[in-house]
């Protein structure tokens, strides 16, 4: 059977970054004007004792959330490394020496397994979901908090092959009754099942019980791989709701329950959903709707995940500053256009690239070192945002590219002075701006297409791709190939 590769944006967008000295928001499009962003704080910032009254499986637990919001500058650590004391001691030392102040730790991983001995969620125990990677979670969180490190629990949501196998009633099904499986053979859970939402809420509360400050949902979306259009949904579950409807509703439901328990809530989303209805409908993530339900939204805008032509760049991966600035300029435009006076919006905290995308092929990528990371961070500030997270699946970071606490303090002062001097502007033509910005190249590089088709990628590159996202491969029929601009993959 002949196999056909989809768009590069579809293959890569998200893994679970040149610089410029300008600190004011900068636009890539002629005629761009900006309104000062309303000050937005997370929806919850106090200590609350609460149990979800709608969830019979979760006992009342006391959670102490962060006393006040933290301007996060963090790194992803996964789970296994967090179980190694020597490794964590080195990481904590590096964090103490730099501007970093937060870590993202897997609590529910990409395989649906709970990474520490979680006892307070009956369904976790019922299906045997625990696969201990972190031996003493309480000691770990205690040590991190002693160093004023903000702790974010990553909870993979609807890509959960484990519970899908143990509870097939919660999984996606094909017309013959069999489980839908992605190209790795993994089953997914059904986003329309409210029992899944409650399961995720209970896991989030349990993470709060051991001291996590924030719950971050990843894979909070529909699968986009071959065969997904054949999945059958029960009308009693869908109730006429489309993909973006149900994802937004699920996010709002889980966020509300976890906020009531004193926890901050964030979601990882595809970068290309910003300004693209096609991409939003494909995965079920509507950027401007989701920001109204969350404390933080984390667009995954890695330069390697944008195809040639995006933001007018021939090779986005080789221009980290311009790519991040272009993506976040688009974010500012859309959120200013969609802002409602009575609906606060989430703080935007983008994921930045801290890995080298050698799988793009010769001439299409660059080595990502401390300079590339600094360039991306600079672009975040120049776009008018303040928070960021670095993604490296191996937790191997260039710490030398980060500022010392003293340097950070001076940089913050310069940023504040620069922004205070900006004139008050507006987004009167925001909708027109969004339409003009929503043009992007979508062709795969010939080198990458050939390598994927002929199986020439090395094992290490395939491992990177596996962690970066899901390859969308189809047969001769175009039925399952998302249209131009659609995205696929996760971090």
Q: What is the DSSP string of 265-304?
A: EEEEEEGGGTT-HHHHHHHT--HHHHTTT-SEEEEE--GG
**In the predicted model, is pLDDT for residue 346 greater than 70?**
yes
Per-residue model confidence (pLDDT) at position 401: 86
**In the predicted model, is pLDDT for residue 287 greater than 90?**
yes
- In 333-392 the beta strands, taken as DSSP E runs, fall at 347-348, 351-353, 388-391
| Displacement of CA 267 from its chain's centroid (Å) | 6
pLDDT band at 342 (very low <50, low <70, confident <90, very high): confident
Share of the chain above pLDDT 70, in %: 72
Burial of 475 (0-12, 13-18, 19+ CB in 10 A): middle
Per-residue model confidence (pLDDT) at position 365: 96
Per-residue model confidence (pLDDT) at position 69: 86
pLDDT band at 275 (very low <50, low <70, confident <90, very high): confident
Determine how β-strand 150-156 pairs with β-strand 102-108.
parallel
Q: What number does CATH give the domain 4-474? A: 3.20.20.80
Residue 106 backbone dihedrals phi, psi, to 5 degrees = -70, 125
- In 322-455 the beta strands, taken as DSSP E runs, fall at 347-348, 351-353, 388-391
- 50-59, 144-153, 433-442: the lowest-pLDDT one: 50-59
pLDDT band at 215 (very low <50, low <70, confident <90, very high): very high
Name the token pair of 190: 């059904």
- 97-106, 313-322, 399-408, 469-478: the lowest-pLDDT one: 469-478
Q: Which residues contact 239 (CB under 8 A, 6 or more apart)?
A: none
Per-residue model confidence (pLDDT) at position 419: 87
Per-residue model confidence (pLDDT) at position 41: 58
Per-residue model confidence (pLDDT) at position 26: 30
Per-residue pLDDT tens over the stretch 445-468: 444 444 444 444 444 444 444 444
Structural contact between residues 170 and 193, judged by C-beta atoms closer than 8 angstroms: yes
- Look at residues 313, 268, 245, 344 and name the one whose alpha carbon lies nearest to residue 39: 344
Name the token pair of 4: 């056909």
- Look at residues 366, 385, 394 and name the one whose alpha carbon lies nearest to residue 466: 394
Alpha-helical runs (H) found in 14-155: 85-97, 122-127, 137-146
- Look at residues 240, 122, 112, 252 and name the one whose alpha carbon lies nearest to residue 170: 112
More confident residue, 478 or 427: 427
Share of the chain above pLDDT 90, in %: 67
Q: Token match 């300008």: residue? A: 22
Mean predicted confidence (pLDDT) in 358-378: 96
pLDDT band at 421 (very low <50, low <70, confident <90, very high): confident
Name the token pair of 168: 């097939």
Mean predicted confidence (pLDDT) in 271-286: 91
Per-residue model confidence (pLDDT) at position 79: 97
Average pLDDT, the chain: 80
Helix or strand (DSSP H, E) at 194: helix 194-209
**In the predicted model, is pLDDT for residue 156 greater than 80?**
yes
Structural contact between residues 326 and 436, judged by C-beta atoms closer than 8 angstroms: no
More confident residue, 39 or 122: 122
Per-residue model confidence (pLDDT) at position 40: 54
Per-residue model confidence (pLDDT) at position 322: 97
Q: What global pTM score does this model have?
A: 0.78
Per-residue model confidence (pLDDT) at position 491: 59
Facing residues of 245 across strands? Answer: none
Which of helix, strand or coil describes residue 78?
strand
- 13-17, 77-81, 254-258: the lowest-pLDDT one: 13-17
**In the predicted model, is pLDDT for residue 364 greater than 70?**
yes
Name the token pair of 440: 């992007």
* Gyration radius of the chain's alpha carbons: 21
- Look at residues 14, 12, 28, 16 and name the one whose alpha carbon lies nearest to residue 307: 12
- 98-112, 197-211, 218-232, 470-484: the lowest-pLDDT one: 470-484
Structural contact between residues 296 and 347, judged by C-beta atoms closer than 8 angstroms: yes
Name the token pair of 149: 């490190």
Facing residues of 48 across strands? Answer: 63
Structural contact between residues 304 and 357, judged by C-beta atoms closer than 8 angstroms: yes
pLDDT band at 436 (very low <50, low <70, confident <90, very high): very low
């Amino acid at each position: 059977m002949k196999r056909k590769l989809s768009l590069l944006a579809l293959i890569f967008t998200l893994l679970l970054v040149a610089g410029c000295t300008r600190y004011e928001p900068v636009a890539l499009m002629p005629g761009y004007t900006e309104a000062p962003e309303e000050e937005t704080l997370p929806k919850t910032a106090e200590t609350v004792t609460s149990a979800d009254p709608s969830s019979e499986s979760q006992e009342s637990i006391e959670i102490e959330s962060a006393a006040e919001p933290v301007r996060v500058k963090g790194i992803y650590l996964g789970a296994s490394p967090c179980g190694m004391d020597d490794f964590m001691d080195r990481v904590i030392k590096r964090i103490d020496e730099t501007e970093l102040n937060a870590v993202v730790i897997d609590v529910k991983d990409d395989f649906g397994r709970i990474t520490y001995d979680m006892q307070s969620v009956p369904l976790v125990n019922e299906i045997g979901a625990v696969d201990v990677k972190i031996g003493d979670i309480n000691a770990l969180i205690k040590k991190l908090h002693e160093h004023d490190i903000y702790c974010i629990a990553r909870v993979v949501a609807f890509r959960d092959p484990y519970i899908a196998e143990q509870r097939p009633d919660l999984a996606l099904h094909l017309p013959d009754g069999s489980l839908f499986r992605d190209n790795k053979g993994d089953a997914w859970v059904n986003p329309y099942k409210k029992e899944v939402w409650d399961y995720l809420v209970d896991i989030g509360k349990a993470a709060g019980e051991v001291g996590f400050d924030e719950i971050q949902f990843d894979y909070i979306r529909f699968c986009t791989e071959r065969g997904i259009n054949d999945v059958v949904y029960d009308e009693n579950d869908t109730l006429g709701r489309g993909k973006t409807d149900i994802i937004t509703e699920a996010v709002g439901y889980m966020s509300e329950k976890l906020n009531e328990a004193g926890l901050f809530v964030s979601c990882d989303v595809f970068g290309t959903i910003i300004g693209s209805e096609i991409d939003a409908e494909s995965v079920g993530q509507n950027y401007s709707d989701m920001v109204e339900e969350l404390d933080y939204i984390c667009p995954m805008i890695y330069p390697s995940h944008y195809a040639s032509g995006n933001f007018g760049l021939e090779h986005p991966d080789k221009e980290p500053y311009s790519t991040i600035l272009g993506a976040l300029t688009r974010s500012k435009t859309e959120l200013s256009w969609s802002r409602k006076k009575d609906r606060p919006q989430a703080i935007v905290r983008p994921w930045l690239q801290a890995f080298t995308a050698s799988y793009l092929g010769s001439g299409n990528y660059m080595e990502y070192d401390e300079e590339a990371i600094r360039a991306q961070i600079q672009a975040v500030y120049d776009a008018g945002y303040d928070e960021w997270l670095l993604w490296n699946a191996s937790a191997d970071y260039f710490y030398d590219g980060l500022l010392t606490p003293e340097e950070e303090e001076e940089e913050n002062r310069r940023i504040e002075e620069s922004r205070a001097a900006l004139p008050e502007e507006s987004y009167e033509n925001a909708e027109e701006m969004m339409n003009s910005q929503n043009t992007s190249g979508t062709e795969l590089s010939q080198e990458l297409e050939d390598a994927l088709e002929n199986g020439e990628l090395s094992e290490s590159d395939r491992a990177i791709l596996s962690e970066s996202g899901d390859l969308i491969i189809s047969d001769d029929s175009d039925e399952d190939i998302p249209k131009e601009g659609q995205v696929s993959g996760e971090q």
